[in-house]
Amino acid sequence: MELNNAWVVITGASRGIGATIAKAFAQKGATLILIARSKEGLEKTCHQVENLGGKAHAIPFDLEKISQIENLVEKIYKLTPRVDVLINNAGLEKYCFYTNYQCKDILSILSVNLIAPMELTRLLLPGMLNQRKGHIINISSVAGKLAEIYNTLYDTSKGGMELWTDALRQELYKTNVKVSSINPGGVTDAGMIYNIGEKYPILLGSCTSQDVADAVINCTSRYKSRVFVNNIPIKPLVIINVLFPRLLDAISRWIGLTKVNRKKVEKRLREDILKSTKENSLN
């Protein structure tokens, strides 16, 4: 797809992978519509895009509010007559022992990570079909193929995204609307790994936000249905998981993934205790 003068919608664009993807599209001459909860974060990304000579519009919106996504789409079409590329990037994760999750966590993570992308795509897809071109790119995760311990809700949402992407791609086969899944491994400069200062297990590989953005841009110019973004091959582990799932469980323990993820849980628990202590002191 020719990206110069294309209209690109990106969710979760206030920081991290989303902001990096936005800058990559700006350098290709696309006009961006950026969506995220943080108005301040969106403004920062817009400034970065403009400094690169690009154009960007910000729409602050909480994708957890599924029933209001129709209003979001109305705002999008007030800014542009068409959407050429949709990047479903927004996502939440919470490392936690499963019994410590609350119902609100289940609803929140599944809403933002899976239901919101499905609904936004459902509402924007008719326009792409009418204009006879478009590309839907879902930023999924290796976790959608290889479940991570202590990250059950995120894994579930990304596994669902993988199946939805596959089904939609097959449905749109005879149209000129493409559907792709981008599957990053452990991202070293954004997200939970970066925030706790922990190194991702070297035998699982890793990637950067820029690696993900490059994969997205390449996917629009040379179509691929699924791209794994990792500095070591991940497909052998996917095959092992299908054929010998308990073997993969053992491999995960051996390479240190269980240990790293437990540290994430412990960090979350410490933060929750500190927050609760502060709240109690104010009451």
- Which DSSP state fits 187? B
pLDDT for the residue 33: 99
pLDDT at 23: 98
Which segments of the chain does DSSP mark as H helices, in order? 16-26, 39-51, 69-79, 103-110, 116-131, 152-171, 191-196, 209-221, 235-243, 245-255, 257-282
Residue 99 one-letter amino acid: T
Tell which wins on pLDDT, 2 or 275.
Answer: 2
262, with CB counted inside 10 A (0-12, 13-18, 19+), is: middle
> What is the pLDDT, as a whole number, of residue 223?
96
Work out the average pLDDT over 269-280.
80
Mean pLDDT throughout 238-246? 92
Of all residues in the chain, what percent carry a pLDDT higher than 90?
77
So what's the pLDDT on residue 193?
A: 60
Which of the residues 77, 95, 101, 154 is marked catalytic?
154
Residue 179, pLDDT score: 99
Task: Report the alpha-carbon distance of residue 152 to residue 156 in Å, rounded.
Answer: 6
Residue 62 tokens read as 């909480």
Pair 145, 238: CB distance under 8 Å = yes
Q: Is 154 a catalytic residue?
A: yes
Stretch (H or E) spanning 86: strand 85-88
pLDDT of residue 257: 87
Q: How far apart are CA 262 and CA 265, in angstroms?
A: 5
User: What is the per-residue pLDDT for 255?
Assistant: 86
More confident residue, 193 or 142: 142
Is a pLDDT exceeding 90 seen at residue 279? no
pLDDT band of residue 205 (cuts 50, 70, 90) is confident
Residues in the chain: 283
Residue that is written with structure tokens 């410490």 in the block: 270
Cα–Cα distance for residue pair 126/128, rounded to 1 Å: 5
The arrangement of secondary structure in 7-282, i.e. its CATH architecture, is 3-Layer(aba) Sandwich (3.40)
Q: What is the pLDDT of residues 65-114, one digit of tens each?
A: 999 999 999 999 999 999 999 999 999 999 999 999 999 999 999 999 99
Q: What is the reported pLDDT for 282?
A: 65
